[in-house]
Chains A and B, each alone.
Chain A
């Protein structure tokens, strides 16, 4: 112990010296940077310097510009998506044969847990923050976020959070499995999660807590930004739909995440300090479930509302007409926001809670389906008789609507108590929420990335690859997750590493077939995502340059939003002041004076 402490102290001292050194370097650079006039040459590589940002890696470490932070969030989320995707592939490979193909039960449980947490907390929430950071200030005509530094702090909490959440995987080999990855499933139900002595669980809980702190800081920032930083011409009557959904989402985060944070701290204390919040003799194991789902159900809407906003924003652009019933969408967004706090126990119908209470949760769950359905009708009506242009972003929007319908309808079935009692904890539930998280949320994210690709890279993606990505994703999603719905009907329980049941639980032959189908679909999905990543990288580096601030030809329909106007001005400024006057906009690689922030020297 003493040796360990000594080592740690030494490590901390080294870190301290490093930090001081780094700070003096940066602070030095800052105080000598002339405020007006050319930049200083800190970057050895001779990169073009903006007067407001240093060059190279330091620029990314110190940036408080909302566009840079948006890109950082995006990069982070895509990496998490890749990690979570590899885990998903492992899960599906494991399940091709009833006895399990590659993993032991422990490894399977670890990977399953991490897959869920990675996708929800490290991909879902951050990728939404990426869009929100980059585009909310542009859409509402603000200079930046209300608190740019808090914005940066919120982002920088995430990489350590990811390392903590995945810590078990790195530490297990070096500690001889003393510290293993958590095997609690993403819901971390007690008593299991309180009793597993594995310190990897503590690390994961800390990571989750930090990601929650980050999300809360971000949410406060968005609320403040949308309320106080709007441009003069933006008011509640013409606020764009994406900002509305982010506003609602931020409110949900503000009420839900601190609660998760507290519950996590209570669980950590139960584990480490012998408190009894969730012990049978204390609050009881159901307390965890109530706290978790009081956060957990709003969390699913935290994840789905902004993607709905993205679709509501993008889909009309390629249908050639305004969003049908814009205000319906706004008000139903708010309705979803409120009602999502009154349905949490629909995840607990089978826990033997009082039937009267259960009935009221069912009532509210049925009510919340209406606003979701309203939006669906609005999207469909927007396309009705529209002049559809089936670009990649539009295809993904349509895919979103289609998958969201299946996901939503299966949700309504689950919200009916008698149905849920049969289907709870089967693959049906897994199919339901994957239709939404993969089929809808991820699709909207792809739509957003393709739609705005020109804004943040200055280039166009490769259309054919975009289409291939869409079709592979659409087909893959529907094969994989439809098979899961069928598995659920057959009675296949979720969260098992193997399925060599006797026929009493589920008919083995059919179950194997559907598992095989699900795995096939997963591989189709995988190929699609590889194409996506390739397209992103290659087009970023060498895609055709965008010359015009309206690459989608939105002007024609009078639908050019503020972010494109901003982009157009940026392009023009780049051309008109290029080279002249004191701005050293030297456009070697298409950099433009200030917003090249968003592109030139990163990668």
Chain B
């Protein structure tokens, strides 16, 4: 599955930012439908531009961050030979699988199923 050119794993990681995006979107829609204070060109304009600009900025930054991380992962894989001595804090990729038993380093390449 590809969306915006991301692999599934990355998409899953990015869902974390989809939630705040969704909340903002919800309020944009809600305020568009219900406007108890009436509409005013200046203030309603500011109101929506604040929310829309935050939405766009967050979406763009999330996109580029996802890109940077995924590209780095690809490059890492191409370098193939898994030299991964210092597992430590690095990518805990797929957030569901590797977790249950602590030990890492072994499979933190993470992407094989993709």
Contact = CB atoms under 8 A, between A and B. Distances in A.
A–B: direct contact at CB < 8 Å: yes
B65 interface: yes
Given A236-B68, A237-B76, A330-B65, A359 B31 contact: yes
Contacts of A189: none
B8 to A, nearest CB: 13
B2 interface: no
Contact of B88 (A324, A357, A560): A560
Contacts of B57: 338, 341
A331 B87 contact: no
Given A327-B92, A335-B17, A339-B58, A367 B24 contact: yes
Interface in A363-377: 363-364, 366-368, 370-371, 374
A327 B17 contact: no
The number of chain B residues touching the other chain, given as a range, is 35 or more
Nearest to B59: A338
Contact of A561 (B65, B86, B101): B86
A181 interface: no
Interface string A275-319: 000000000000000000000000000000000000001001000
B54 interface: yes
A162 B69 CA distance: 40
B88 A558 contact: yes
B39 to A, nearest CB: 8
A360 B93 CA distance: 34
A271 to B, nearest CB: 30
Contacts of B76: 235, 237-238
A311 to B, nearest CB: 12
Given A237-B72, A325-B16, A326-B91, 14 more contacts: A238-B76, A241-B89, A327-B92, A330-B69, A337-B61, A342-B50, A342-B53, A354-B40, A356-B47, A360-B27, A363-B31, A367-B23, A371-B17, A561-B86
Interface in B54-85: 54, 57-58, 61-62, 65-66, 68-73, 75-76, 83
Contacts of B113: none
A430 interface: no
B7 interface: no
A558 B90 CA distance: 11
Given A335-B17, A363-B27, A367-B23, A323 B89 contact: yes
A327 B95 CA distance: 8
Given A236-B68, A335-B17, A325 B51 contact: no
A320 interface: yes
A521 B51 CA distance: 41
B10 to A, nearest CB: 8
Contacts of A18: none
Chain B interface main SS type: helix
A20 B90 CA distance: 50
Nearest to A375: B16
Contacts of A354: 37, 40, 43, 46-47
Contacts of A560: 86, 88
Contacts of A559: 87-89, 104
Contacts of B102: 320-322, 386-387, 557
Contacts of A337: 61
A520 interface: no
A565 B87 CA distance: 13
A571 interface: no
Contacts of B31: 356, 359-360, 363
B72 to A, nearest CB: 4
6 contacts: A237-B69, A240-B90, A326-B95, A363-B28, A366-B27, A370-B20
Given A330-B65, A331-B17, A235 B58 contact: no
Contacts of B92: 322-327
Interface in A554-572: 554, 557-562, 565
Contacts of B68: 236
Contact of B89 (A240, A356, A367, A368): A240
A313 B75 contact: no
A316 B87 CA distance: 12
Interface string A48-72: 0000000000000000000000000
Contacts of B93: 326-327
Contacts of A341: 54, 57
- A-B pairs with the 8 shortest C-beta distances? A326-B92, A363-B27, A238-B90, A237-B72, A558-B105, A321-B102, A235-B72, A327-B13
A332 interface: yes
A240 B92 CA distance: 11
Q: Which of B16, B23, B89, B104 has the most CB of A within 10 A?
A: B89
A359 B40 CA distance: 14
A334 B68 CA distance: 13
A496 interface: no
B16 A332 contact: yes
Nearest to A320: B102
Contacts of A320: 102
A358 B22 CA distance: 19
A192 B81 CA distance: 65
Given A237-B90, A240-B89, A313-B89, A331 B50 contact: no
A22 to B, nearest CB: 44
Nearest to A332: B16
Q: Which of A320, A354, A356, A561 has the most CB of B within 10 A?
A: A356
Interface string B23-52: 110011001000101001001101110110
